[in-house]
Each structure stands twice: as structure tokens, then as C-alpha cells.
Amino acid sequence: MAENQKFTKEELDKITDLRNQNQIKVGEFGQIELEVVLASQRLEALAEAKQKLIKDYQDLQQSERDLVKELNEKYGAGQVDLTSGEFIPSNWLFGK
């Protein structure tokens, strides 16, 4: 059986340095994976916010359609002058 031998200081330093570098790389991989998880969570949150905005926009469009229908039923076809607050009938717009 071979007997135990001691490494030189230079050899031990190389082994220690390689182990330390390996631990650093493992830590960096862990940090990258954590960043990926956080980015994924952020993307999910953005997707949810986007879906809410789409729903809000669709609701807003429906409210606009409802108001136009209500005003058309009350005043007929025409336009609104927001400056004066007046309704301008379509037949007046075309000189009829």
C-alpha cells in the first residue's frame, strides 16, 4: 500500500483556489437562477396588469357605446360641441 504524502504549499494553494472558484461559480449560477425566477414573476405580473387594462378598455368602450346609444335616442344623430356643451344635429351639419 502506498504511504501518505504531503502536497506542496503551491499544490494546496492551487486546489484551494480551484475549490473557491468553483464555489463562486455555483453561487453565480444560483444568483442567475434567482434573477430568472424574479424576471418570470415580473413578466407574470405584467401579463396580469395587461389583461386588466384590456378588460378596463373594453368596459370603457362599452360605456361609450351605451352613452352614444342613450344620447342618440334622446337627441338623434349629431355631434357634441364640448366647448359650448351643445348638441349639433346631423341635419344641421349638412345644411338640411
Percent pLDDT > 90 in the chain is 76
Q: Does the residue 3 lie in any domain?
A: no
pLDDT in tens, 63-79: 999 999 999 999 888 88
- What was the pLDDT predicted at 2? 80
- What was the pLDDT predicted at 4? 92
Q: What is the pTM of this model?
A: 0.61
pLDDT band at 90 (very low <50, low <70, confident <90, very high): confident
Q: Does the residue 30 lie in any domain?
A: yes
Q: Does the residue 66 lie in any domain?
A: yes
Whole domain around residue 19: which residue ranges? 10-93
Q: Does the residue 5 lie in any domain?
A: no
Q: Which three cell numbers stand for residue 19?
A: 475549490
Domain count along the chain: 1
Q: Does the residue 61 lie in any domain?
A: yes
Q: Does the residue 65 lie in any domain?
A: yes
Q: Does the residue 1 lie in any domain?
A: no
Distances from the Cα of 79 to the Cαs of 62, 68, 70, 94, 96, in angstroms?
Answer: 19, 10, 13, 12, 15
